[in-house]
Amino acid sequence: MRKQWAWSSMMMLLLMFFLVSEIATTRSSDYACKLPHHSYPFCDASHPTLTRARSLVSLLTLPEKIQLLSDNASSIPRLGIPAYEWWSESLHGIAPNGPGVSFNGTIPSATGFPQVILSAASFNRSLWFRTAAAIAREARAMFNVGQAGLTFWAPNINLFRDPRWGRGQETPGEDPMLSSAYSVEYVRGLQGLSGIQEAVGDDDDDDDDALMVSACCKHFTAYDLDKWKQFARYNFNAVVSQQDMEDSYQPPFRSCIQQGKASCLMCSYNEVNGVPACASEELLGLARDKWGFKGYITSDCDAVATVYEYQNYTKSSEDAVADVLKAGLDTDCGTFMLRHTKSAIEQGKVKEEDIDRALLNLFSVQLRLGLFDGDPVRGRFGKLGPKDVCTPEHKTLALEAARQGIVLLKNDKKFLPLNRDIGASLAVIGPMATTTKLGGDYSGIPCSLTSIYEGLREFAERISFALGCHDVSCESDDGFGEAVHTAKQADFVVIVVGLDGTQETEDHDRVSLLLPGKQMDLVSSVADASKNPVILVLIGGGPLDVSFAKENKKIASILWVGYPGEAGGKALAEIIFGEFNPVGRLPMTWYPEAFTNVPMNDMNMRADPSRGYPGRTYRFYTGSRVYGFGHGLSYSHFSYNFLSAPSEISLSRITKDGFRKRLLHQAGKEVNGVDYIPINELQNCNSFSFSVRISVTNLGDLDGGHVVMLFSKGPKVVDGSPETQLVGFSSLHTVSNKSTDTSILVHPCEHLSFADEEGKRILPMGPHTLSVGDVEHIVSIQMY
């Protein structure tokens, strides 16, 4: 028995040795600070990051420095520094869009989470954080086996300003408050200490400077047009008012930097008010000097070349290099700076200290990532490997994210959920029903592939399928006959239509908000032929004008599933058959087709009736809607009650010295007659923050999650006042026929303010109406 035990133990040790060796052989043996180069000061982890970075820069020759100003940074053999690829992607899971990621190795796939626009529809901060932390863990695991870098260019936090934008799917939606919240949670999850603690199993680790991986806020700024008519992202000049810049375009980036502590910022292709974003000292200086950005700034890919070659902003290549470096850019995604920096120095347009500054920022981030701490296998994350990718926990999280994001847009007469116990037959119709490409832009190779049809098949004993259209463009109705015949034979019908990468993607904006080709005719034909009202499932990131379906009584239910990721088919089936109570809310306005008459290049958020301009996003749009921002139904019905909130707030104690006297002198009237107060005239704004306690009662028969959305409508004291704006939100679980309480913290200087025409934040005096659903509470802000 002892011999058998000894033999088994020996075999186990050999197996473990083999597995460890197998992993080790796939890991890159090319790392910095190994013998004989380990004695350099920059390899000494006991020194501060900045000290180490300065030491490293001081050891480089000018030609070596220039070779590091690219996403594909060259090696420095004499110092033992390997090459490094800065460009890796992780928008909603590790993706091979950038050269830093490869699935050709021991890790063939990674968890495919829902596209960002659907994750945003959950309005669930903890879900966003946990998703990013899972992505970070998989990223480190892939780095350890040589299949990824550690600098990931996500999140995309541009506002979904225009419904036609092909990349709107990549963003958290149209609201700056929502986008800000998402950016903070994503960056903290990807970079953050909690992920590090989980990975290394040390709750006492307090190295706030350390990064698990690096996150990048992009695209800075006012980038939301790829290709429309004669305008392309490479030559588009975004003309943005100071008012819109301050309270719409910039807040997500400010939050990403100040609260999220992002270690990377990407400047965009477009010009902003006549200056290329990557060459704008005003923009990049704002991030570093005013917002306190600590990290590196990269261009979008070939955006430095664009400054000269497409935008003709400079007279020479050397001038373009000089302009972006002086503006504060640190690295070029591309080769333009590699090719032209030397001649820019020779012509006296660039100084070596400009390059040193850039390298200091780059090396500081690499040092925070541990890239100069020796063998990563022996480091704090060395134990992560293939076993940490596509784990059951991550797959479950992807399923949960899809469940919480899917939005029930319509449900006449409580048609859904279906009862799976009655054994009814189900027909699934549509060109997108069997596709397993459900990730949208910047998708990797998912752990598992499940179509919507396959997800439904798990719940229906008798199920049939017909394409209807040959593809998403649906240019022919040849398949309609088969689709109608299939629908007639079934008790219930699910029609799956919408958008894919042929209709909306990077470098491709839509021209219409209608369903592509003859999809609308397919839906109507099948609905007319079916025994019972049908269920319409919409795939895609951008808003769709489905007014025909909204009004059609033969279409009982409509669900928007965005791009739901690898578990989307299962999540949708669970909702349709009542195993999950839908909770998602739209993070963007769904406009009618007539909105396509609005020029996409018009960046103004505010409406202008004098020229028939309806404005943009729910905060300023004055036209009709198909479905509004925040719309989303449940199988339950909810009522709300304000439990506590102040009725009045006085600002007298926090106004700066002399402000009251100036007001009296300038206005010649009582202070309480003032319409608004500039935020910069208030000191310690947080001192009059308040909490709003809300009771939510689930009046239905099903338990389920619910999103509480608190809006504010303030006095319209200046031109451009918002119609309404989101103040806060809370995702909570509710129990049937019971009440659940939640609190939302309101910072008036942030949440109740907006920008005046000069781009200065103001806080209106007087009544501010807070609303949740159809319940309102008035908070009056005064200065006595």
Q: Which letter, b or e, does each residue of 524-536 get, where b requires 16 or more Cβ atoms within 10 Å of its Cβ?
A: bbbbebbeebbbb
What's the CA gap between 344 and 335, in Å, rounded?
A: 14
Supply the DSSP symbol for 83: P
Identify how many contiguous H helices and E strands the chain contains and give both numbers: 23, 27
Q: How many CB atoms lie within 10 A of CB 274?
A: 11
What ranges make up the beta strands (E) of 189-277? Answer: 216-220, 227-228, 231-232, 237-238, 264-267, 271-272, 275-276
Catalytic residue among 226, 300, 319, 500: 300
What's the CA gap between 522 and 165, in Å, rounded?
A: 25
Query: Do 620 and 176 contact (CB within 8 A), yes or no?
Result: no
CA angle 399, 215, 507 (to 5 degrees): 80
What's the CA gap between 316 and 337, in Å, rounded?
A: 12
The closest of 632, 583, 178, 122 to 398, measured between CA atoms, is 122
Q: Is 430 helix (H, G, I), strand (E, B) or coil?
A: coil
What's the CA gap between 442 and 547, in Å, rounded?
A: 30
Query: Do 401 and 114 contact (CB within 8 A), yes or no?
Result: yes
Query: Do 502 and 519 contact (CB within 8 A), yes or no?
Result: no
Q: Is 426 helix (H, G, I), strand (E, B) or coil?
A: strand
Q: How many CB atoms lie within 10 A of CB 724?
A: 15
Q: Is 175 an annotated catalytic residue?
A: no
Starting at the earlier edge strand, list the strands of the sheet with 638-644: 638-644, 690-698, 739-746
Supply the DSSP symbol for 554: T
Contacts of 434 (CB under 8 A, 6+ apart): 451, 452, 453, 454, 465
Tracing tokens 């505010």 back to the chain, one arrives at: 606
Q: Is 2 helix (H, G, I), strand (E, B) or coil?
A: helix
What's the CA gap between 442 and 170, in Å, rounded?
A: 8
β-partners of residue 465 are 428
Q: Is 471 helix (H, G, I), strand (E, B) or coil?
A: coil
Cis peptide before 722 (omega within 30 of 0): no
Cis peptide before 435 (omega within 30 of 0): no
What's the CA gap between 558 and 632, in Å, rounded?
A: 11
Query: Do 109 and 566 contact (CB within 8 A), yes or no?
Result: no
Query: Do 238 and 273 contact (CB within 8 A), yes or no?
Result: yes
Q: Following CA atoms 132, 136, 138, 144 in sequence, which dihedral angle do they give, to the nearest 10 degrees?
A: 170
The per-residue DSSP string of 702-733 comes to S-EEEEEEEEEE----STT--S-EEEEEEEEE
Residue 529, phi then psi, degrees to nearest 5 = -90, -15
Which residues does the annotation mark as catalytic? 300
